[in-house]
Amino acid sequence: MSQGFFYVSGEELLLWRRESSAQAITAKIATQELDWLLQEIADLDALSLRLESFGEREKISLTCSFPELKSLWKRRIQERVPVQYLAGMTTWRNFKLKVAPGVLIPRPETELIIEIAQQATIPKSLDYHWVDLGTGTGAIALGLAASFPSATIHAVDSSATALAIAKKNAQLTKLQERITFYHGSWWQPLSHLAGQVTGMVSNPPYIPTQELATLQPEVWQHEPHLALEGGNDGLDAIRHLIETAPQYLVTGGIWLIEMMVGQGENVVSLLSEQGNYRDIQIIRDLSQRERFVLAYRT
Ligand SMILES: C[S@@+](CC[C@H](N)C(=O)[O-])C[C@H]1O[C@@H](n2cnc3c(N)ncnc32)[C@H](O)[C@@H]1O
């Protein structure tokens, strides 16, 4: 997207917005997405969009040219590119985060994992180390940094693209001093933390391979498969995290993941069989769906 300021007349933008809303309805895309994009790109607020009062303004400033805005929306409708990739940003908890193709767009349902971490029983220690494994945009790491002001946060991803965006987000939110980023696979870059980790939080890839193509085109055609695909039963990464975490967690340390609805029972069995976890519990999201598992290192 171009830098700098561009202008369009209110009347022209109003006409285009009406046409584009109609296209959205035909394409079964929420019209709110158009307004969200407009609020990111134009100096418009939700009220002036709702009342269409902006139509009377002589000029409205844009962060890209009007033809560019039109072509972005065309990509939304024709190629099903997620609107957050078009805008280059999303909101998550109280953060405004940079996103780009190559990194998963953090989901609102994942926000709850931070509250679960806050409410978990935290083992007493002098040093608090939290890890976010598979950090993507860095969303969870940032949420942990904001929630645990005296902790050091370690964020890992095997995608260099994701990690570059996560570092940028740490700078944008001024939390960069609190988070160390590592490029590598799960615990592999964290050997120096063996036996010292207070809590592991992860939203790993958990979609069974054969289900990928059944996801909305926005997801499976545009979001990185590395962030989604969890092998035959979706549990490859989770199984690995169950096996490896006890070596890194302190006694009483927190093991917390997000998963797909329907995986809870298997994850609980795997944790019990591993033998180094206690107080294993499935936690529901705000829609009462089983989406998280919390356990503690014995
Ligand atoms: C479901 S996304 C979650 C991203 C972010 N934590 C969030 O909640 O929005 C899973 C992340 O795991 C990363 N990942 C996949 N395999 C990995 C591995 N072996 N080691 C570290 N990260 C991995 C992906 O690159 C992706 O960023």
The enclosing domain of 150 has a CATH number of 3.40.50.150
Task: Please tell me whether residues 71 and 105 are part of one structural domain.
Answer: no
pLDDT digits (tens, 9 = 90+) for 9-40: 999 999 999 999 999 999 999 999 999 999 99
The answer to whether residue 114 is domain-embedded is yes
Contacts of 120 (CB under 8 A, 6+ apart): 199, 254, 256, 294, 296
C-alpha span between 69 and 83 (Å, rounded):
12
**How sure is the predictor about 1, in pLDDT bands with cuts at 50, 70 and 90?**
low
- 203 plus 243 within the same structural domain: yes
Domain end: 79, 109, 140, which one? 79
**Cα 212 to middle of ligand 1, angstroms:** 16
Mean pLDDT over 277-298 rounds to 97
For residues 149 and 71, membership in a common domain is answered with no
Ligand 1 site, residue 163, Cβ cutoff 6 A: no
Per-residue confidence (pLDDT) for residue 4, from 0 to 100:
56
| Atom 18 of ligand 1, residue of closest alpha carbon | 185
Q: How far, in Å, from the CA of 127 to the mean position of ligand 1?
A: 26
Q: Are residues 58 and 173 in the same domain?
A: no
Query: Ligand 1 centroid vs 227 CA: distance in angstroms?
Result: 5
Same domain, 202 and 290: yes
d(CA 123, CA 22): 55
CA 59 – ligand 1 centroid, Å: 43
Q: Ligand 1, closest atom to CA 135?
A: 6
**Which atom of ligand 1 has the smallest separation from the CA of 103?**
27
> Does some domain include residue 1?
no
Cβ partners under 8 Å of residue 8, min gap 6 = 42, 59, 60, 62, 66
Residues 25 and 62 in one domain: yes
Asked if 112 and 202 sit in the same domain, the reply is yes
Cα-to-centroid distance, 140 and ligand 1 (Å):
11
Whether residue 38 is contained in a domain is answered as yes
Residue 257 has pLDDT above 90, yes or no: yes
Is there a single domain that holds both residue 15 and residue 124? no
Q: Judge whether 85 lies within some domain.
A: no
Tell whether 128 and 157 lie within a shared domain: yes
The residue whose CB lies within 8 Å of the most ligand 1 atoms, and thus the one to mutate among 135, 142, 223, 285, is 135
Q: What value does the mean pLDDT take over residues 269-275?
A: 98
Q: Can you give the residue range of the structural domain that contains 157?
A: 91-297
- Look up the pTM and report it: 0.96
On whether both 95 and 22 belong to a single domain, the answer is no
Q: Which of 79, 106, 141 corresponds to the end of one domain?
A: 79
Pocket test of ligand 1: the residue of 154, 159, 202, 257 to mutate, having most ligand atoms within 8 Å of its CB, is 159
Q: Does the pLDDT of residue 2 top 70, yes or no?
A: no
How far apart CA 209 and CA 71 sit, in angstroms, is: 33
Residue 186 Cβ contacting ligand 1 at under 6 Å: yes
The pLDDT value given to residue 58 = 95
213 CB neighbour count, 10 Å cutoff: 9
Residue 176 CA, ligand 1 centroid: distance in Å: 19
Is pLDDT at 249 greater than 60 in this prediction?
yes
221 with 260, same domain: the answer is yes
Q: Is 204 in the pocket of ligand 1 (CB under 6 A)?
A: yes
Q: Are residues 14 and 61 in the same domain?
A: yes
42 Cα: distance to centroid of ligand 1 (angstroms): 32
Q: Would you say residue 84 lies in a domain?
A: no
Question: Is residue 3 scored above 70 in pLDDT?
Answer: no
Q: Is residue 86 part of a domain?
A: no
Q: How many structural domains compose the chain? A: 2
For ligand 1, pick from 140, 158, 187, 229 the residue to mutate: most ligand atoms within 8 Å of CB.
158
Using the atom order of ligand 1, give the atom closest to the CA of residue 206.
1
Contact 85, 103 (CB under 8 A): no
Q: Tell me which of 79, 100, 132 is where a domain ends.
A: 79
Instruction: State if residue 205 touches ligand 1 by the CB under 6 angstroms criterion.
Output: yes
Look at residue 125 in the predicted model and tell me its pLDDT: 82
- pLDDT tens by residue, 94-152: 999 999 999 999 999 999 999 999 999 998 887 899 999 999 999 999 999 999 999 99
Query: Cα–Cα distance between 152 and 180 in angstroms, integer?
Result: 8
Q: Is residue 236 part of a domain?
A: yes
Round to whole Å and give the CA distance between 15 and 10. Answer: 9
CA separation for the pair 92, 81 (Å, rounded): 19
- Summarised one tens digit per residue, pLDDT across range 64-86 is 999 999 999 999 999 999 999 99
Does residue 221 belong to any structural domain of this protein? yes
* C-alpha 55 to ligand 1 mean position (Å): 43
What does the pLDDT look like over 171-224, one tens digit per residue?
999 999 999 999 999 999 999 999 999 999 999 999 999 999 999 999 999 999
